[in-house]
Each structure stands twice: as structure tokens, then as C-alpha cells.
Amino acid sequence: MKVLIPLFSFVSLFAQIRFIDHVTPTTQPFETYLFVTNFRDIPCDIQFLPYDIEGNRLPDVSFSLQGHQSIKYKSDDVFGTNPVSHFQILGDTHCGVTIGYQLYDGQGATAHLIESPQRYTDFLIYPGEPEYIFDGMAAVNFGVDPAIITAYVRASDGSDINVVELTDGLPRLHKGLWLLDELVTPDTATIVIHSTEPLDVTLLRGTRPHVVPGYLFEVVPISEPSEDFKAP
């Protein structure tokens, strides 16, 4: 621990704490994998500080990697039977963490998502084709107060087709899960998400069970490039 604690002294508002915000058990519908790679030729130490979906701390997990070593584990082999939902990453920054999601049954491909310090209050996605895919969103509240999260389903002219309050108060470090494809209409051009608190977000798009082969994709949140984008 004496090696890991000094990391906090380097964390600023612009260098956010490292997190993986979506972990699922290695059961249906996904098999979930953790990848850790040491990008340098010197050893590195890394530690996971896990939380359950309600933000309660669970037992820590530590790894030591040799130079350029890469390891891969199923999430259950790392966390056991603990109901891990998301986790903080401490340790050497040249030791990178990626999570992979793969369909449990049938043919498919793994979606790899890297750790990210990015937080969002406002972003949009372009929805997929709901007859073939689902659009799933996992979000962890990294703010101080409970987050009110609202989805604006918009037409191509920018008008609101529908406005849906996804939650009226997601507590700090709690995670919420939503299927955004359920909001899509034939006239939908964008789905805009607004949160009253900063969120760490994972967006996954996947094929329906009857589609073969089955695939998962990461959907990157889109925010206004030059200044804070505000949804309402």
C-alpha cells in the first residue's frame, strides 16, 4: 500500500481517478474478462478497489506484473462470488486495464473497453437499428449529490419526440442500468442524456439473440467538442 497511496497526490480535476464502471458476473448473457498489461520493461503493481451496484466497498484485489507482461482473467476468477459492479484502479499508470464483454452462447466477438477518466453530464448517441440490436447504458454517479438523469429522444430537426426521466436520484457511486433502444421511434435521430451530476458511462450495443453471429460494440458518448454541451 505504501507504493500506491502517493498516486492520490497526483490526481487533479483534470486527471480523474481511474475506473472501470461496468462489471458483470461470468454468466449469461455475457462472459466478462479483465485484461491487465504492463507497457514498460519494469515491474508494476496495481490494485482494484471494487464496489457493488449500491456503492458498497468490497474486498480489494492486487496484481504484480513483470515487464511487458499481459494477463487475462474471467471476472469471477478475479472477484470470486462478490457482487462487483464497478471498481477503482490504483497503482502504476503504465499498467493499463481493459475489460472485455463476450456473448455467453453461440458465435460472437468480444467488445473491449479501456479504463477512462472521462466524466459526462451531457452527451448524445446515434441509436442503432432496434429490430436488430439493443443499446445498453451503465452509468456510475461520480458527483456529490444524487443524480437526476434524463433522456431526450429527438428528431432530426432537434425537436423532442419524448422526454424520459431515467432516474430521479441515483446516489453517489451507485450504478444504474438502462436499455435506450426501448426509447427509439422511427423518427428518432439522436438520444441525448443529461445528468445533474458527472457520470462515468459505459455504452454497449449488441445484436439480438436471434442474430447469428452475435456481436457487441462499444458506443462512444458524443459531447460538444469546444465547450460544455447542455441537453435541455
**Torsion sign over Cα 158, 149, 218, 118:** positive
Query: What amino acid occupies position 78?
Result: V
Strand partners, 111: 101
Percent of the chain predicted with pLDDT > 90: 66
pLDDT score, position 125: 95
Beta sheet of 86-91, edge-to-edge order:
18-20, 86-91, 44-51, 61-65
Domains of the chain with CATH codes: 11-114 (2.60.290.11), 120-218 (2.60.290.11)
pLDDT score, position 8: 34
- pTM comes to 0.84
pLDDT score, position 117: 73
Report, as ranges of residue numbers, the positions in the chain whose pLDDT lies below 50: 1-15, 226
pLDDT score, position 102: 82
pLDDT score, position 22: 92
